[in-house]
Amino acid sequence: MQSLLEDRDQYLARSPLLHAEKIHDPVAIFHGENDRVVSIEQTSCLVEKLNHQATPHIYQTYAGEGHGFRKPETIRDYYQRVENFLLTYLK
């Protein structure tokens, strides 16, 4: 397994945050507040850029959730919001 430093260019090339100006289609963003893989600060910065460039999006955070959702109420809410997003933007 390579280290973050060894794969730096690959991580930078794949980072949505560093390429936010290329995002023009509606996007749904869901984030667990306890995510240890992607920091909520990174996601908030991405959302700020989407707001600045007026890219249609929804953004929902979930308290007590990490990188992947476990609570039944979170999963229910997530699917409800995904359905609403799709009904809104996939006409």
User: Please, which residues have CB within 8 angstroms of residue 36's CB and are 6 or more apart in sequence?
Assistant: 66, 67
The first and second tokens of residue 76, run together, are 């229910």
**What is the reported pTM?**
0.85
pLDDT tens across the length of the chain (91 residues): 566 667 888 888 888 888 999 999 999 999 999 999 999 999 999 999 999 999 999 999 999 999 999 999 999 999 999 999 999 999 7
Question: Measuring CA to CA, which residue among 36, 43, 42 is closest to residue 66?
Answer: 36
Rounded distance between C-alpha atoms, residue 71 and residue 6, angstroms: 36
